[in-house]
């Protein structure tokens, strides 16, 4: 499958104000118009619970899981773009780096599992215990 999705958010609420995408190739046939499937996410706010919100808003269908993954990635990109300036401040030593990222995720749990570096099996998250947050 070859597909793309793009969202436009309005700051400071991070409300999704525009969404578009296209399926260029699919095992499901030649259906390329996914605009109706994407429109229900308009007005949703990128933040805690967005993955569950997306799955609750998009209609059932053969491409639903693919669309949900693409929309999740868009939202992760939005979240990470707002944290980029913070990430460059991370210490260069391994112990300091680990503590820095653990503290960052404790302060903002929605970052957890938002990228490979902050995934459950990442060495940076090895000592993280979100239950103590």
Residue range 21-65, pLDDT digits in tens? 988 877 766 666 788 889 999 999 998 788 899 999 987 777 888
The per-residue pLDDT for 11 is: 86
Q: Which of 1, 24, 6, 3 minimizes the C-alpha distance to 73?
A: 6
**Is the pLDDT confidence value at 133 over 50?**
no
Contact 37, 22 (CB under 8 A): no
60 three-state secondary structure: coil
> Could you read off the pLDDT of 94-126 as tens digits, one per residue?
888 888 888 888 887 777 877 777 788 888 888
**pTM of the predicted protein model:** 0.67
Distance CA 101, CA 77 (A): 17
């Amino acid at each position: 499958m070859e597909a793309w999705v793009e969202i436009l958010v309005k700051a400071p609420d991070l409300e999704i104000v525009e969404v578009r995408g296209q399926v260029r190739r699919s095992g499901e046939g030649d259906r390329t118009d996914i605009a109706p499937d994407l429109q229900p996410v308009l007005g949703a706010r990128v933040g805690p619970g967005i993955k569950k919100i997306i799955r609750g808003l998009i209609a059932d269908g053969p491409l639903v899981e693919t669309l949900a993954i693409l929309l999740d990635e868009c939202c992760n990109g939005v979240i990470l773009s707002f944290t980029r300036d913070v990430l460059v401040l991370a210490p260069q030593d391994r112990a300091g780096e680990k503590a820095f990222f653990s503290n960052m995720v404790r302060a903002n749990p929605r970052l957890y599992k938002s990228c490979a570096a902050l995934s459950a099996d990442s060495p940076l998250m090895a000592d993280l215990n979100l239950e103590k947050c």
